[in-house]
Amino acid sequence: MPSKKKRNQTYEKVGRPETNAPFIPENAGRAQEEEVADTFKTIKEMKAEIGKVFFGHEEVVDSLIRALICNGHVLLEGVPGIAKTLAIKTLAKVSGCTSKRIQFTVDLLPTDITGLTTYDPHRGFEIVEGPIFANFVIADEINRSPPKTQSALLEAMQEKQVSIGRETHKLPDPFFVMASQNPLETEGVYSLPEAQVDRFLFKVVFGYPVQEQEEKVMEKNTTFKKFEDIALNVITSPEKIIEMQHLTHKIYLDDKIKKYIMNIVNLTRNKNFKYGEYIEIGGSPRASINIYIAAKAQAILQGRHYVLPADVDKVVYDVLRHRLILTYKAQAENITPETIIDEILKVVQSN
């Protein structure tokens, strides 16, 4: 069995910074303009560096950075070949963080994700850590594995720790999961249950780039290059990312904005609007919490130390898209969550 010192050395390799005391948001105070300006500058540099490789989907990059500084996770949905994996690998590189990719298949086991205990005649029992021990984890096509394997990842996302044998091991900090799923195929896939999808802060949906951007993609031809050979500068560090996460909690959000968020979420529950009949189950309190923190992150991306209603409007789609459980009638009539959210915002803003 590896010593505690050896395990700590392992964590240091994957970028787990030492922290002296837990961060308590309620006691953090308010963000100062200077620290927000400094973070805004860093994020702007990160986006510029990411844009060298991943372009044509700036809103996707914004969503990934928002989720990262919210200390949340992202479920990414899109057709194959639109650089979902490249996006997260690039973000990890410019963030100075480690990244690992897990290709989910029907025969993938939970221990293939978390790790396992092995025995060596000379060294005794040893823990072999799985790919989950990284700052950024890419869970590719998560819906191809059965629920037992999916749960191993989702438990790690929620608890930020995994159990291997009789021991519990904390995961690196920051810990960020981007899971992707292919929306085209229905055979040989295991749809994520609604309760598990709810663990993702955002669900981001994106499609093909516009023609001008795709022409640029063809010219750059990053598919045929080794990612390691792409010249990307490291802009920040795991420690700085954690500071950004703490700063997000310190962004000021007025009571009127809280009521605005609650009006949006309550409308998904009481269904008293045009498309209300198409909602089977509305947003949970987790939806309210996630809109609250995501709006703060959006304010940082705009260089502000306070939240505006426009910040809520910007993030509400990513937060509610996968939390609105629609009826079969909605599916039959091609009513999408985006259509419903559009109408909700119109109703709330008119009152």
Q: Are residues 302 and 267 both part of a single domain?
A: yes
Q: How do residues 128-182 score in pLDDT, each as one tens digit?
A: 899 999 999 999 888 888 888 888 888 788 889 998 878 888 999 999 999 988 7
Q: Are residues 302 and 240 both part of a single domain?
A: no
Q: Are residues 275 and 240 both part of a single domain?
A: no
Distance CA 100, CA 137 (A): 5
Q: Counting Cβ atoms within 10 Å, is residue 228 exposed (0-12), middle (13-18) or buried (19+)?
A: exposed
Q: What is the pLDDT of residue 222?
A: 58
Name the residue range of residue 317's domain.
251-351
Is residue 28 within 8 Å of 250, Cβ to Cβ? yes
Is residue 178 within 8 Å of 73, Cβ to Cβ? yes
163 occurs within a structural domain: no
Q: Are residues 140 and 268 both part of a single domain?
A: no
21 occurs within a structural domain: no
29 occurs within a structural domain: no
111 occurs within a structural domain: no
Is residue 92 within 8 Å of 227, Cβ to Cβ? no
Q: How do residues 30-71 score in pLDDT, each as one tens digit?
A: 888 999 999 999 999 999 999 888 887 889 999 999 999 999
Distance CA 160, CA 172 (A): 8
Q: Averaged over 238-254, what is the pLDDT?
A: 95
Q: Give the chain's domain count.
A: 2
Which of the listed residues 245, 278, 297 is the one where a domain comes to its end? 245
24 occurs within a structural domain: no
Picking from 319, 349, 329, 351, the residue whose alpha carbon sits closest to that of residue 279 is 329
Q: Are residues 210 and 324 both part of a single domain?
A: no
Q: Are residues 308 and 239 both part of a single domain?
A: no
Distance CA 240, CA 117 (A): 33
Q: Which helix (H) or strand (E) holds 261?
A: helix 255-270
335 occurs within a structural domain: yes
End-to-end CA distance of the chain: 63
Q: Are residues 255 and 335 both part of a single domain?
A: yes
Q: What is the pLDDT of residue 16?
A: 45
72: domain CATH number? 3.40.50.300
Q: What is the pLDDT of residue 22?
A: 73
113 occurs within a structural domain: no
Distance CA 209, CA 144 (A): 26
Q: Are residues 239 and 255 both part of a single domain?
A: no
Q: How do residues 72-127 score in pLDDT, each as one tens digit?
A: 999 998 877 778 888 888 998 999 999 899 999 889 999 999 998 888 888 888 88
Name the one residue in this structure whose structure tokens are 């984890």.
Answer: 137
Length of the chain, in residues: 351
Q: 0.85 exceeded by the pTM?
A: yes
Q: Are residues 68 and 179 both part of a single domain?
A: yes
Q: What is the pLDDT of residue 2?
A: 46
176 occurs within a structural domain: yes
Name the one residue in this structure whose structure tokens are 């809109």.
Answer: 291
Confidence label for 21 from pLDDT (cuts 50, 70 and 90): low
Which of the listed residues 245, 279, 311 is the one where a domain comes to its end? 245
269: domain CATH number? 1.10.8.80
Which of the listed residues 184, 211, 245 is the one where a domain comes to its end? 245
Q: Are residues 65 and 208 both part of a single domain?
A: yes
Q: Are residues 51 and 141 both part of a single domain?
A: yes
Q: Are residues 302 and 153 both part of a single domain?
A: no
Distance CA 232, CA 93 (A): 7
